[in-house]
Amino acid sequence: MNTQVIIGIVIGVVLLVALLAVTGVALSRRRRITLAEPTQKQEVDGQRQVDKSGGYQAGTGFSFSQGGTATAPPPAAPKPAAPKPAAPKPAAPKPESAAEEAERILAEASDAPVTPVADDPIAQLPGTETESEDSAMVVEESAESATSEAEAEPEPEAEPEAQPVAAEPVLDEIAPTEGRLSRLRGRLARSQGAIGTSMLGLLGAGDLDEDSWEEIEDTLVMADLGTAATEAVVTDLRAELATGKVRTAEDARAALRRVLVAQLRPDLDRAVHALPHAGGPAVVLVVGVNGVGKTTTTGKLARVLVADGRRVLLGAADTFRAAAADQLQTWGERVGAGIVRGAEGADPASVAFDSVATGIADGVDVVLIDTAGRLHTKTGLMDELGKVKRVVEKKTPVDEVLLVLDATVGQNGLTQAKVFAEVVDLTGVVLTKLDGTAKGGIVFRIQEELGVPVKLVGLGEGADDLAPFDPGAFVDALL
């Protein structure tokens, strides 16, 4: 009896030990797999990509692609430290130190024509005066820190806190992006309706006399479509109705939908060029005037990219407003993206340069640079934005220049947009605050007048209130 108990206990202990051993092996395997994850390869546009996300994925309705259209590759500029083919190893020190390189590039960029900012009140803000000594110092400091961090590449357990790329953030849950288009519909429905209700009422009423056509025109103009787009829509609608196939209210709705969608140019490339290219991260510049939602959009975009499996570095080149860098840093911490920021009032170009240098050194997939809000009337500041772009291009091409526009400001937004388009080659527009009192018709004008596609829309202040722009879904939301 006693012997049986003892045997039972022995068997139990043996089984327990075996179970622990198996669990231990499984755990250590899993750990190893997690660490090895960054080598996972993906095919994107026929090119091999390295997924360094650690498997943090979310289904996404967003479309990302490789750039190459925002800027031509940097002209025969001395290509800084030809990156090693086996990329993600952080920065082997270059022959020219990062600080020297930064200094040289900023000095070269400063030779380019920069409009004097003499009596411009905005230009009197700290840091806007000239780039020379102060900014060079900032670059030197930050470039040095980037280099030394890269040199002191940590052994697994000795992780330095100063690492610019994400220090143990508590990551947010990111809402799946799939449902965002239906959310777009709901949000727009709050403030839209002009096009839908009145147009469908008129079209559905049967034969249209000239008064009705005029009313249709007025409705479209009031919805912010502008005269050119309005005329085009009316002409196309007349043609549709002339076919005699529009007999019911449903036919009228379908015809109106067809015409509006066609007017929104569904053929335009709306993918955000945010995928890395061989040897370097994609660079996205986020530009626009104060308060339109640049920082918020940069943060929201970072979330989507991280959810899509990308390693993201944020560049806080909005040095005019200290809170903007703090705001961006918070976004980064929540989502697991690193940040490079300069001193308040530092030269934005130096921060942008430093961000890209750090991004290259750390092997991130994309660097999102949030720039300062610039009043479009301040030529000097606009020139400075040109400088930001030129300086970045010395390192790597800028893949995407996203202009953020506040949809609620209507015509003013368009005026701003045109000035920005003169200074930098815009590749896409983000239209924010479409959840507000915006009239959706502004989308038609922006695309028509700028020739640049609306790629993303902001639908609220919430972290996940960013959606890809889709002409069909957008028109559905209007009707």
Ligand X SMILES: Nc1nc2c(ncn2[C@@H]2O[C@H](COP(=O)(O)OP(=O)(O)OP(=O)(O)O)[C@@H](O)[C@H]2O)c(=O)[nH]1
Q: Which helix (H) or strand (E) holds 473?
A: helix 471-478
Residues 370 and 294: beta-carbon distance below 8 Å: yes
The token pair at 316 is 């806080």
Q: Name which position in 280, 373, 428, 440 contacts ligand X (CB under 6 A).
A: 373
Q: Name which position in 144, 321, 409, 419 contacts ligand X (CB under 6 A).
A: 321
Residue 345 binds ligand X, judged by CB under 6 A: no
Q: Which of residues 322-341 bind ligand X (CB under 6 A)?
A: 324
* Rounded Cα gap, residues 209 and 324, in angstroms: 54
Q: Name the 3-class secondary structure at 367.
A: strand
Please tell me whether 41 is known to bind a ligand. Answer: no
Nearer to ligand X, 60 or 296 (CB): 296
Binding residues for ligand X, how many (CB under 6 A)? 21
Residue 402 binds ligand X, judged by CB under 6 A: no
Question: Considering the complex, what minimum distance in angstroms separates the CB of residue 462 from ligand X?
Answer: 9
Residue 433 binds ligand X, judged by CB under 6 A: yes
Nearer to ligand X, 68 or 436 (CB): 436
Q: What is the dihedral of CA 123, 117, 350, 291, to 10 degrees?
A: 40
> 323-329 contacts: CB < 8 A, separation 24 or more?
324/295, 324/370, 324/372, 327/295, 327/296, 327/299, 328/295, 328/298, 328/299, 328/370
Please tell me whether 293 is known to bind a ligand. Answer: yes
Residue 464 binds ligand X, judged by CB under 6 A: no
Q: Name which position in 103, 149, 224, 318 contacts ligand X (CB under 6 A).
A: 318
Residue 432 binds ligand X, judged by CB under 6 A: yes
Nearer to ligand X, 98 or 285 (CB): 285
Please tell me whether 292 is known to bind a ligand. Answer: yes
Instruction: Render 189-211 in DSSP notation, one character per residue.
Output: HHH--IIIIIIHHHHHTSS--HH
Q: Name which position in 290, 383, 409, 421 contacts ligand X (CB under 6 A).
A: 290
Please tell me whether 288 is known to bind a ligand. Answer: yes
Question: Considering the complex, what minimum distance in angstroms separates the CB of residue 197 from ligand X?
Answer: 23
**Residue 53: C-alpha distances to residues 49, 71, 254 (Å):** 12, 27, 43
Residue 476 binds ligand X, judged by CB under 6 A: no
C-alpha R_g of the chain: 27
Instruction: Report the binding-site residues for GTP.
Output: 288-295, 370-374, 432-435
**Binding positions for ligand X, rule: CB under 6 A:** 288, 290-296, 318, 321, 324, 373, 432-433, 435-436, 458-461, 465
